[in-house]
Amino acid sequence: MEPELDRRTALQALALAGAGMAVAAMAQTPPPAATPAAPALKPLSFDPAKLDGLSEKLIRSHWENNYGGSVRTLAAVKKQLADAMASKDTPAWLYNDIKREHLLRTGSVVFHEYYFDNLGGNGSAPAATRKALGDAFGTFDAWESEFRRIANGLGGGSGWVVLGYNAHTRALENYWMADHAHGPAATLPLLVMDMYEHSYQMDFGAAAARYIDAFFKNIQWDAVTARLEKAQRLPA
Amino acid sequence: MEPELDRRTALQALALAGAGMAVAAMAQTPPPAATPAAPALKPLSFDPAKLDGLSEKLIRSHWENNYGGSVRTLAAVKKQLADAMASKDTPAWLYNDIKREHLLRTGSVVFHEYYFDNLGGNGSAPAATRKALGDAFGTFDAWESEFRRIANGLGGGSGWVVLGYNAHTRALENYWMADHAHGPAATLPLLVMDMYEHSYQMDFGAAAARYIDAFFKNIQWDAVTARLEKAQRLPA
Amino acid sequence: MEPELDRRTALQALALAGAGMAVAAMAQTPPPAATPAAPALKPLSFDPAKLDGLSEKLIRSHWENNYGGSVRTLAAVKKQLADAMASKDTPAWLYNDIKREHLLRTGSVVFHEYYFDNLGGNGSAPAATRKALGDAFGTFDAWESEFRRIANGLGGGSGWVVLGYNAHTRALENYWMADHAHGPAATLPLLVMDMYEHSYQMDFGAAAARYIDAFFKNIQWDAVTARLEKAQRLPA
Amino acid sequence: MEPELDRRTALQALALAGAGMAVAAMAQTPPPAATPAAPALKPLSFDPAKLDGLSEKLIRSHWENNYGGSVRTLAAVKKQLADAMASKDTPAWLYNDIKREHLLRTGSVVFHEYYFDNLGGNGSAPAATRKALGDAFGTFDAWESEFRRIANGLGGGSGWVVLGYNAHTRALENYWMADHAHGPAATLPLLVMDMYEHSYQMDFGAAAARYIDAFFKNIQWDAVTARLEKAQRLPA
């Protein structure tokens, strides 16, 4: 596990808190009374030492550094935004630069939580879920083929693959995303796969295809099924 | 109203349908058996001649050309994807180029439908909705100030402002988006504002601030309230 | 002409200057001695009242509000970056949010200056330039067809079309760009076409195809030719 | 070294070549007369076994899989574009999807070639180059601080840091880029640093800061100096 990024982000957060720093800090801004508590990470729902073909070291680094880094940065972003809104002099372009980080980090935090929660299973989808995907995509295999093809095309770059339920169109679809700021409109995620290189380089180097196979072996389909059932109960 | 783009897109759609089109369609490709029907646009929920400070010409052009163009392109995108999945030889990078268009056009279609449906009102928010936003943002005015600041910062460029209910974090938040492919993760839109220049240039030229005022005067808050109530009934 | 955005940006710049505001303003930051002079806009190289099919109102609004807005914002961005570098406490993510605006606004300013400078002509390319493009693209018409197709595909959205000379590969190529932050690597622009909707909505509404025709009628090919000659003299 | 992506891309390229492939290739499409030769990679200008703190395995994988993958994909993209231009029925949106890949892969190929060519040195900048950067940034250390800060902010994500000479503004500036499609307008790259995670995960996991230190120790400043001298000789 590589604590460097972790430590750096924590130090930044402390500096940020300690200096009363703000995008549009007014001269009179008082320092905060106390250092805010570090925001909580959602614990892994599985034992990272027990995945099939994904190392504990990879999963822990991903969870602590990449997911954790975004949790901590998102907390700092929200503080910056609050300070910036308090000043009428913050230019809108500067405010929006931080709102872009807000969108990006919200995506990173939320999609990472879906991702880890849909790992730790045995990769075997319940019959009802297979049927739902079969109904939407022609066959279950057609769904899996498209999901894997999108993942393959993202190898060597950054992004996510998301199977989602679109609350507006009521369609089940796979979506390609190139970064955390991308996201399908009005969509509840069902199965989320991280394709940033931090998801696999440590175990597989550039061999993204091997990671894709390992991901499919470890899907926690019960989580996916529960999300699907909840999405289908969404009021019309 | 400016029918040119409309006509062009329609001609493309016909060409596409008529020719069994492919990126590099071979000359000998036979035409499909029948031309598919043009996809339906969601009708405006209000009389575009009766908005306060937004012209009928602007609204009709926006609806027919920009929203309509995306509806028609999305239909063509889906056909391309189906054809591309049928071939094992489609490289993943090329498939994903079209999946990017899929994400982008899905965003355009869905957000436009939310946008038009939250226009046509008198701009007055019901007390319960004002209270919900006040609870989430400190005050209703604090919500409105942030929403307007994001909009201001998007003037002269492209993008959307979205007040949304995040189904994962259960938070009400405003989001900045720079294009149709952006989107807040796991979020149900409540109030959607188009900041692409086609939303205002025809009436206001570069004066985006005047459009923002006009938008607020015409918000259909009943639609926003209904969306909020539905989002809050989402199963936990 | 629509001065609102103009005025707003100027007021922001003043507020920014007057308040000694900074991303990481220290409590002790003194106000600057004097309001900095507004940065200079590059004047139009042609009489905007005399273009063929593009109105003076459109060109003046585009130059003053969109190009001018980016010139003024870029100046404010550079001041923010200088202030932020002066503080060790600025988190790297926040610094990069402003560096993104730096990339975006640099693109906007630079490409707008190329754009206006390649307008004001009669649309007739000199024989030597036609030959150079013919050599690179098969025929001059093949070059024009691709350039126009890219422009058509950008209608209704945002972006640029750039014919450029790649200083690394020594190739003449057309490039698609979706926003000001995009840019072909190591490339000297030769012909630049703005496809943001502020380039045409005021005259043509959504009918981007009519703008594309008008643009081609007004290309100042002497400027393009001079740029090409300079690029070809680049040391190997 | 990780040959999987390599092999996959090569197989795709073969499939592409062998099948006369199209996005929606018809079953009856005949194969082309001959398989095109694989495009050439620019060889490393240094011995990858001899860098200080960057492993041979990392550099070889980066060069073969990530740079090499983009070289091969760019060749396939150009073939697709040629085929697509030959058909009048290709919709502009689809053409532009591939032009986006063209922009992205051109950036990847070109920036990777600059990157590898500015590695293999001892990290010590000649006095004249130090002075040029000092003149542009205040001090040489101020330049290095900003370059490193941008790099730090990109850790855990994707992108590039580029010190460039802007041929239009005649300024030396550092630029942040989040992906290969980004690029500073009209800029000749002088020092290029890859911050995609494939640049460091294999050696350092998530500890991007350790990679940044190692990168600086291995900069080939003679290459940077030669680029700077060439840029300064650009005709005014």
Interface touch A65/D209, C-beta < 8 Å: no
What is the distance in angstroms between the Cα of B219 and the nearest Cα belonging to chain D? 32
Inform me whether the C-beta atom of residue A9 falls under 8 Å from chain D C-beta atoms: no
Nearest to B24 among D84, D92, D93 (CB): D84
Nearest to A29 among C15, C27, C80 (CB): C27
Residue C199 structure tokens: 């380039």
Inform me whether the C-beta atom of residue C168 falls under 8 Å from chain D C-beta atoms: yes
- d(Cα B147, Cα C148) in Å, to the nearest integer? 37
Return the pLDDT at B36. 57
Backbone angles phi, psi at D217, to 5 degrees: -70, -20
More confident residue, D127 or A1: D127
The percent helix, strand, coil of chain C (3-state, each to 5) is: 55, 10, 35
End-to-end CA distance of chain C: 46
Q: Which residues of C touch A97 (CB under 8 A)?
A: 97-98, 100-101
| pLDDT band per the 50, 70, 90 thresholds, residue A4 | very low
CA C135 to chain centre: 27
Question: What is the residue type of D209?
Answer: A
Interface touch A175/B110, C-beta < 8 Å: no
State the helix-helix crossing angle for D68-85 and B92-117, rounded to 10 degrees. 70
Collapsing DSSP to helix, strand or coil, C231 comes out as helix
Return the pLDDT at C25. 33
Inform me whether the C-beta atom of residue C15 falls under 8 Å from chain B C-beta atoms: no
- d(Cα B150, Cα B206) in Å, to the nearest integer? 16
Interface touch B176/A103, C-beta < 8 Å: yes
- d(Cα B167, Cα B146) in Å, to the nearest integer? 21
Q: CB B173: neighbour CB atoms within 10 A? A: 21
What is the distance in angstroms between the Cα of A60 and the nearest Cα belonging to chain D? 11
DSSP D18-83: HHT--TT--TTPPPPSSPPPPPPPPPPSS-GGG-SSS-HHHHHHIIIIIIHHHHHHHHHHHHHHHH
Ranges of beta strands (E only) in chain D are 160-166, 172-177, 187-194
Interface touch A12/C87, C-beta < 8 Å: no
Are residues B154 and B195 in contact, defined by beta-carbon separation less than 8 angstroms? Answer: yes
Q: Which residues of B touch C157 (CB under 8 A)?
A: 158, 179, 196
Looking at chain D, the number of H-run helices and the number of E-run strands are: 9, 3
Q: What is the average pLDDT across C170-184?
A: 98
- d(Cα B89, Cα B81) in Å, to the nearest integer? 13
Q: Which residues pair with B160 in a beta bridge?
A: B177, B194
- d(Cα A102, Cα A76) in Å, to the nearest integer? 10
Q: What is the average pLDDT across C51-72?
A: 98
Closest CA to C186 of D33, D164, A75, D30: D164
Closest CA to B98 of A173, D182, D178, D96: D96
What is the distance in angstroms between the Cα of D226 and the nearest Cα belonging to chain A? 31
Q: What is the average pLDDT across D108-119?
A: 98
Backbone angles phi, psi at A194, to 5 degrees: -80, 130
Are residues C78 and D135 in contact, defined by beta-carbon separation less than 8 angstroms? Answer: no
Residue in chain D closest to C156 (alpha carbons) equals: D93
Torsion of CA A47, A52, A56, A62, to 10 degrees: -90
Inform me whether the C-beta atom of residue D227 falls under 8 Å from chain C C-beta atoms: no
A contact residues 89-148, partner B, Cβ 8 Å cutoff: 90-93, 95-96, 99-100, 102-103, 106-107, 110-111, 113-114, 142, 145-146
- d(Cα A165, Cα A173) in Å, to the nearest integer? 7
Inform me whether the C-beta atom of residue B1 falls under 8 Å from chain C C-beta atoms: yes
Q: What is the average pLDDT across C113-142?
A: 98
How confident is the model over C2-31, as pLDDT tens digits?
Answer: 334 444 443 343 333 322 233 333 223 333
| pLDDT band per the 50, 70, 90 thresholds, residue D36 | low
Collapsing DSSP to helix, strand or coil, D2 comes out as coil
Q: Which residues of D touch C186 (CB under 8 A)?
A: 110, 114, 187-189
What are chain C's partners, defined as 3 or more CB pairs within 8 angstroms?
A, B, D
Q: What is the average pLDDT across A168-187?
A: 98
Interface touch B106/A178, C-beta < 8 Å: no
**Angle at the Cα of A118 from the Cα atoms of B103 and B84, rounded to 5 degrees:** 35
Interface touch B25/D20, C-beta < 8 Å: no
Helices (H), chain B: 3-19, 56-61, 68-85, 92-117, 127-137, 140-154, 201-204, 208-217, 221-232
Collapsing DSSP to helix, strand or coil, D165 comes out as strand
Closest CA to C119 of C198, C201, C52, C208: C52
Q: What is the average pLDDT across D44-64?
A: 98
Q: How many CA atoms lie within 13 A of D19 on its CB side?
A: 23
- % of chain D at pLDDT higher than 70: 84
What is the distance in angstroms between the Cα of D59 and the nearest Cα belonging to chain C? 22
Q: Which residues of B touch A100 (CB under 8 A)?
A: 176, 178
Collapsing DSSP to helix, strand or coil, D208 comes out as helix
Q: Which residues of C touch A25 (CB under 8 A)?
A: 22, 24-27
Question: Which residues have CB under 8 Å from B33's CB, separation 6+?
Answer: none
How confident is the model over B136-187, as pLDDT tens digits?
Answer: 999 999 999 999 999 999 999 999 999 999 999 999 999 999 999 999 999 9
How confident is the model over D182-230, as pLDDT tens digits?
Answer: 999 999 999 999 999 999 999 999 999 999 999 999 999 999 999 999 9
End-to-end CA distance of chain D: 45
Q: Does the structure show a pLDDT above 50 at D12?
A: no
Give kind and range of the element (H or E) at residue A141: helix A140-154
Give the range among B43-47, D4-8, D193-197 with minimum mean pLDDT: D4-8
| pLDDT band per the 50, 70, 90 thresholds, residue B23 | very low
Q: Does the structure show a pLDDT above 80 at C193?
A: yes
Q: Does the structure show a pLDDT above 70 at A72?
A: yes
Return the pLDDT at B236. 75
Interface touch C197/B202, C-beta < 8 Å: no
Q: CB C31: neighbour CB atoms within 10 A? A: 12
- d(Cα A106, Cα A182) in Å, to the nearest integer? 11
Interface touch D183/C188, C-beta < 8 Å: no
Residue B205 structure tokens: 């030229």
Cα Rg, chain A, nearest whole Å: 20
Q: Which residues of C touch B155 (CB under 8 A)?
A: 5
Instruction: Please give the DSSP secondary-structure letter assigned to residue C178.
Output: S
What are chain D's partners, defined as 3 or more CB pairs within 8 angstroms?
A, B, C
Closest CA to D118 of D21, D208, D188, D215: D215
CA A204 to chain centre: 21
Long-range CB pairs of D46-49 (<8 Å, 24+ gap) are D46/D119, D46/D120, D46/D220, D47/D120
Inform me whether the C-beta atom of residue D11 falls under 8 Å from chain A C-beta atoms: no
Q: Which residues of A touch D62 (CB under 8 A)?
A: 206
Backbone angles phi, psi at B32, to 5 degrees: -70, 165
Q: Which residues of C touch A106 (CB under 8 A)?
A: none
Residue in chain C closest to D169 (alpha carbons) equals: C110
Nearest to D188 among C85, C186, C233 (CB): C186
Inform me whether the C-beta atom of residue C227 falls under 8 Å from chain D C-beta atoms: no
Question: Which residues have CB under 8 Å from C184's CB, separation 6+?
Answer: C162, C164, C166, C173, C175, C177, D103, D106, D107, D183
Q: CB C98: neighbour CB atoms within 10 A? A: 23
Residue D89 structure tokens: 């029925």
Three state DSSP letters for C94-119: HHHHHHHHHHHHHHHHHHHHHHHHCE
Residue D213 structure tokens: 């230190």
Instruction: Please give the DSSP secondary-structure letter assigned to residue A198.
Output: G
Inform me whether the C-beta atom of residue A22 falls under 8 Å from chain C C-beta atoms: yes
What is the average pLDDT value for chain C, to the nearest integer?
88
What is the distance in angstroms between the Cα of A52 and the nearest Cα belonging to chain D? 20
- d(Cα B202, Cα A192) in Å, to the nearest integer? 41
Of the residues A71, A90, A168, the best mutation for testing chain B's interface (the one with the most B CB atoms within 10 Å of its CB) is A168
Residue in chain C closest to B8 (alpha carbons) equals: C209
- d(Cα D145, Cα A215) in Å, to the nearest integer? 39
Q: Which residues pair with D188 in a beta bridge?
A: D165
How confident is the model over C154-176, as pLDDT tens digits?
Answer: 999 999 999 999 999 999 999 99
Question: What is the residue type of D53?
Answer: G
Residue with tokens 């230190």: D213
What is the distance in angstroms between the Cα of B25 and the nearest Cα belonging to chain C? 17
Are residues B218 and B123 in contact, defined by beta-carbon separation less than 8 angstroms? Answer: yes
Interface touch A93/C73, C-beta < 8 Å: yes
Q: CB A229: neighbour CB atoms within 10 A? A: 13
Instruction: Please give the DSSP secondary-structure letter assigned to residue A197.
Output: G
Inform me whether the C-beta atom of residue A202 falls under 8 Å from chain D C-beta atoms: yes
**Do the bridges between strand D172-177 and strand A160-166 make them parallel or antiparallel, or are there none, so unpaired?**
unpaired
Return the pLDDT at A11. 37
Interface touch C103/D146, C-beta < 8 Å: no
Q: What is the average pLDDT across B196-224?
A: 98
Question: What predicted TM-score, i.e. pTM, was given to this entire model?
Answer: 0.89
Sign of CA pseudo-dihedral D198, D199, D203, D206: negative
Give kind and range of the element (H or E) at residue A151: helix A140-154
Residue B178 structure tokens: 């720079």
Return the pLDDT at A36. 57
